[in-house]
Structure 1
């Protein structure tokens, strides 16, 4: 069975990906391969950051791997926080990051936003990219206790609940990451599943 390292130690991300491909491929985390390094994310696009992660693992460990970068883009904030989503407030404190988005949006009526994920896959000396996007809106205050990141303030188009008010199954069925992972899984199934 094909083994791939997912360049993350984020348990939420691992769960989402495992749920979609666990019966087809063995997915390992950074912890599983003994990598405690803080892999740099200095790119200015999601693609660059995702590829930095795979490049790092390929160069250091020589393993087949994939990495992702995700973020929230808010139209009225010139697509911020974007690649800085995890540290928008200057810290990795998501409560402060959410507060800053809500503060900067204020009473602006344009609440359009989207979550974007880009996955970079390194396999057989080739790099592949898969993107997932879900459109939605930012609500005025937090709603729900599930999920992580900006989930409590994001309502996907066509729904009346924030990601944080949905079950993991509901969110995973429509999320930006699940869209990108589905593309990754389809590619791997077509090429490598036996």
Structure 2
């Protein structure tokens, strides 16, 4: 795990191990601690609460208002990197969301595949974006009350990902 760009947390597809995200008890509500393998890093969530996470993620398909056959996130391109999966927290109009993006839209990568198991999700939360969850794709979304197992497979020049929306003090993977 390492920090990339502006406080995004990147988790390489080849590594395994738990990551814990915890809101800090300080005067800055957008500060969170990322803990993995005994190392702790402070990150700051993105967003000022003025835009929904759906607007921010900007998932486009041939059937959305701004359409694209890439079935990808257009709103997160500033964070995307080739051969990298990123996760970060977004403060949107409906609260705090965990954003995951795999791959790089129009990047220089052959695509990839990733399975994540995410535990400790708040019961009152929900996956508001499942990129991709349409007929004929290879992604799998298996959700329980406080956990999810997701497998993504994306091709060159595209992204996959998802957004879990919920106000939680702790989200762990």
State the TM-score, normalized to the length of structure 2.
0.29
Q: Which has the larger radius of gyration?
A: 1
The one of the two structures with greater contact order (alpha-carbon pairs below 8 A, sep at least 6) is 2
TM-score (norm 1): 0.27
Of Structure 1 and Structure 2, the greater strand share is in 2
Structure with bigger helix share is: 1
